[in-house]
Amino acid sequence: MKAPALLLALPLAAAAVPPAPVPASVPLPAAHADALPAALDALVAARFKPELPGVAALVLKDGKPLLRKGYGMASVELGVPVRPEHVFRIGSTTKLFTATAILLLADEGRLALDAPVARYLADAPPQWSKVTLLHLLTHTSGIPNLSMDSGYWRTTARLDHQPEELVAPVRVRPLDFEAGERFAYNNTGYNLLGLVIEKVSAQGYYEFVDARIARPLGLKHTVAGDDRQLIPGLVSGYQLGPKPARILAASNLYAAGGLVSTVDDLASFMLALQAGRIVSPASVARMNASHVLPNGEATGYGLGTWGRRVNGKRLVGHGGYILNFYSQLEMAVDSGIVAVTLHNGDRFGGDNEELSKRLIAAVQAAGARTAN
């Protein structure tokens, strides 16, 4: 076991592995455009039993809802069903907000993506001399990922930590590989970005996200997932059984996974981001583009975004898993389709990522039939 001041934002080692590719063609239920909402409803309802942990789902096309509904239970003990306005922990979907905050500061000329971390964090150790903000954003820094430490989930993640404590242990460790050399999903890197945001803005990470992203967009439920405060509308989390979610201290999640939100807030955020209302269109394009390693390999990850394709169409977004909560936020950027699914259990309804893609593919297919 390493030093006790460790971190996390995605609880399973598997969550740090790039998602499996999606087939170019996804089987869909037959549906005419006027029956599309019912078809989307059926896709989700088939996965979630009414008496078990559930999901809030939202699908938009050109800003208009095709599906906005809750399935299953927000509280199994109290028999409270999920409603679409309920609040969920979003885990690593937080990284999309963190990257947006960094790009916002870059647009304002307050930081440079190709600058070394040491320019903004004076206590950066010598082995980080070639690590840049871009390396942190693209998970190519080589800095050790503390959430992968043996025993982390059994011990350290249950204890409260301050942001600085989430990265302190890696300051004395060598890099896992030379900065920029390869992709390795890294929660510690995004927590370091949170510290950079605090240093440059002179605000706390959550305060900056609230002041510069959430409040201007009217995102009333996108806040710090502080487990020491009451969060109105927050649903309970469950592991298999169902049993209560594992006990973790939310202070460990920070800029890599610490936000809570709703399907409506996340969809509004994605639409505003892609429309260039938060950061410049040039920065949006840079966020959406897959990072390419020196050997020419595309990682599939941009700056805080995963890039994927369904039926040949490009998707961008992020997913998260924390405290037995799953989140998936994606947009088909060329067709204006947004899908958000927030689940409060340990895959009781299967894979959120695959469900998201099926929902988007169903809307694509209905649009294609209408066009013909």
- Kindly indicate the confidence band of residue 16, based on its pLDDT and cuts at 50, 70 and 90: very low
Q: Which pLDDT belongs to residue 311? A: 84
- 2 domain residue, yes or no: no
Give the list of residues 6+ apart from residue 67 with CB closer than 8 angstroms, or none: 37, 40, 41, 44, 57, 58, 59, 359
Domain limits at 211? 13-17+30-371
- 277 domain residue, yes or no: yes
The answer, as to whether pTM is greater than 0.85, is yes
pLDDT at 3 over 60: no
Kindly write down the DSSP assignment for every residue of 244-286, as one continuous string: EPPP--GGGTHHHH-EEE-HHHHHHHHHHHHTTSSS-HHHHHH
In terms of DSSP H, where are the helices of 82-222? 94-107, 133-137, 187-201, 205-209, 215-217
- Kindly indicate the confidence band of residue 2, based on its pLDDT and cuts at 50, 70 and 90: very low
Q: What is the CATH number of the domain that holds 153?
A: 3.40.710.10
Q: Which pLDDT belongs to residue 9? A: 37
Q: Which pLDDT belongs to residue 368? A: 66
Per the DSSP assignment, residues forming a β-bridge with 308 are 315
CB 187 within 8 A of CB 146: yes
CB 225 within 8 A of CB 250: yes
Token digits of residue 154: 């059994």
Residue 7 CA to residue 254 CA, distance in Å, equals 9
Q: Which pLDDT belongs to residue 6? A: 30
pLDDT (tens digit per residue) in 248-292: 999 999 999 999 999 999 999 999 999 999 999 999 999 999 999
Q: Which pLDDT belongs to residue 371? A: 60
* Mean of all residue pLDDT scores within the chain: 90
Give the sign of the dihedral formed by CA 194, CA 198, CA 203, CA 204. Answer: positive
Residue 153 CA to residue 344 CA, distance in Å, equals 19
Share of the chain above pLDDT 70, in %: 90
- 6 domain residue, yes or no: no
Per the DSSP assignment, residues forming a β-bridge with 310 are 313
Q: Which pLDDT belongs to residue 1? A: 31
69/15: higher pLDDT: 69
- 124 domain residue, yes or no: yes
Residue 47 CA to residue 241 CA, distance in Å, equals 16
User: Average of pLDDT values for 45-55?
Assistant: 97
User: Average of pLDDT values for 237-253?
Assistant: 94
pLDDT at 15 over 80: no
- Residue 177's Cβ-count burial label (10 Å; 0-12, 13-18, 19+) is middle
Which helix H or strand E contains 60, and what residues bound it?
strand 55-61
What totals of helices (H) and strands (E) does the chain contain, helices first? 10, 13
Q: Which pLDDT belongs to residue 32? A: 53
- Kindly indicate the confidence band of residue 369, based on its pLDDT and cuts at 50, 70 and 90: low
- Kindly indicate the confidence band of residue 12, based on its pLDDT and cuts at 50, 70 and 90: very low
DSSP class of 194 = H
Residue 319 CA to residue 71 CA, distance in Å, equals 19
Q: Which pLDDT belongs to residue 156? A: 86
Q: What is the count of structural domains for the chain?
A: 1
- 181 domain residue, yes or no: yes
- 270 domain residue, yes or no: yes
- 24 domain residue, yes or no: no
pLDDT at 307 over 80: yes
- Kindly indicate the confidence band of residue 312, based on its pLDDT and cuts at 50, 70 and 90: confident
Q: In 3D, which of 182, 260, 245 has the Cα closest to residue 18?
A: 182
CB 271 within 8 A of CB 231: no
User: Average of pLDDT values for 334-352?
Assistant: 94
User: Average of pLDDT values for 157-176?
Assistant: 94
pLDDT (tens digit per residue) in 185-218: 999 999 999 999 999 999 999 999 999 999 999 9
- 5 domain residue, yes or no: no
Q: In 3D, which of 323, 256, 221 has the Cα closest to residue 101?
A: 256
Q: Which pLDDT belongs to residue 289? A: 97
Edge to edge, the sheet with strand 64-71 lists 64-71, 55-61, 337-343, 325-332, 313-322, 306-310
